[in-house]
Amino acid sequence: MPSKEHLDRPISEFISPGPPPLRIDQTVGEALNAIRTTGLAERIFYFYVVDAEGRLSGVVPARKLLTEPLSSLISEAMMKRVLSLPENATLMEACECFILHKFLAIPVVDNSKRLRGIIDVGLFTDEVMELGTETNNDQLFQSIGIHVQEVLHASPWKAFGIRFPWLVATVSGGVLCAVLAGAFASTLQQRVVLAVFMALVLGLGEAVAAQSLALTVQSLPSSRVRWKWLRVKLRREGVTAVLLGLLAGVAVALMVSICWHDFVAASSIGGSVVLSMLVSGLLGVLVPVFLRIVHWDPRIAAGPITLAAADLFTVSCYLVTAKILLR
């Protein structure tokens, strides 16, 4: 069975040459003649297009290349937006791309965007099938602070000793949230609708934090976390969280406006949803990275800590925003 260390290996070790690249200044007829001359040694799904310096410029699906007029330019037939992977990416990151985008092959480029080769989805067939059994079950329990192999055959007292310390984070977060709610009791009494929707806003923040955390832990490098990787991860999760927050925030704000006719409360709740989902998504990245830096196991410790931190920020943001707007 493939290990986590195996999936952390760089894809540069698994690159295949792929089909001969097409030049951006060729016609379809010239490209087909060049392909016949060099031959094809493996399954071909896409032909990749490069410029004079060998930089990746586009992609032409094999079927499209065969059906285009021979006089058409490759630059006209190709799709300019093409997903690629850097040569220092890991097998786990490549696997994520195949699952998310459903491609059959992905080009690999160097730091100058020059085409190095391709990664074929066939490389992951066995990996995905095997990882879908016991490994994922173990990772599922680790995300909530439990190592399944430790608890499976443990006595009740030993299981209690393993599980309770991680529940302390959840209990502490809940107590602090209650203290915050008590400090803003007058604000909640002024607008009952705020108390009604607090649980919904908390649930949305926790959901985004859990999703972001799961994706981060799966792709977290086993070695030192590099700033470039962290920057890309934060940008991706931040944009995704903002889009999710805007959709959920507008929906909740409309519901409050229609049912309670309270536009100030609607603005407060909707804005809190957007901000809390953004920060919760970023916490799902930053907490496991911080735990890796301090040499804690992020697979076990990150879940309770991330959810507690997300709850604290969500309640704080929700109540402070409401107090400012209602004043």
Full set of structural domains in the chain with CATH: 4-129 (3.10.580.10), 154-326 (1.10.357.20)
What pLDDT score was predicted for residue 130?
46
What pLDDT score was predicted for residue 170?
78
CB hemisphere CA count around 11 (13 angstroms): 31
CB 256 within 8 A of CB 262: yes
CA separation for the pair 109, 122 (Å, rounded): 19
What pLDDT score was predicted for residue 132?
43
What pLDDT score was predicted for residue 204?
92
> Of the candidates 244, 295, 234, 302, which has an alpha carbon nearest to the alpha carbon of residue 273?
244
> For the chain, what percent of residues have pLDDT higher than 90?
33
Cβ neighbors of 212 (< 8 A, separation 6 or more) are 237, 241, 280, 281, 282, 283, 284, 285
What pLDDT score was predicted for residue 151?
46
Across all residues in the chain, what is the average pLDDT? 82
What pLDDT score was predicted for residue 127?
47
CA 208 to chain CA centroid, Å, is 10
What pLDDT score was predicted for residue 39?
73
What pLDDT score was predicted for residue 146?
44
CB 107 within 8 A of CB 28: no
What pLDDT score was predicted for residue 153?
53
What pLDDT score was predicted for residue 171?
81
What pLDDT score was predicted for residue 6?
61
Q: Encoding tokens for residue 193?
A: 């609708």
Q: How far is CA 220 from CA 112, 147, 301, 304, in A?
A: 25, 18, 14, 18
Instruction: Note the pLDDT tens digit of each residue in 271-324.
Output: 999 999 999 999 999 999 998 888 777 766 678 889 899 999 999 999 999 999
Q: Please give the helix or strand (H or E) that residue 255 lies within, else none.
A: helix 227-260
Residues of the chain under the 70 pLDDT cut = 1-7, 41-43, 124-155, 158-166, 222-223, 299-301
CA 238 to chain CA centroid, Å, is 10
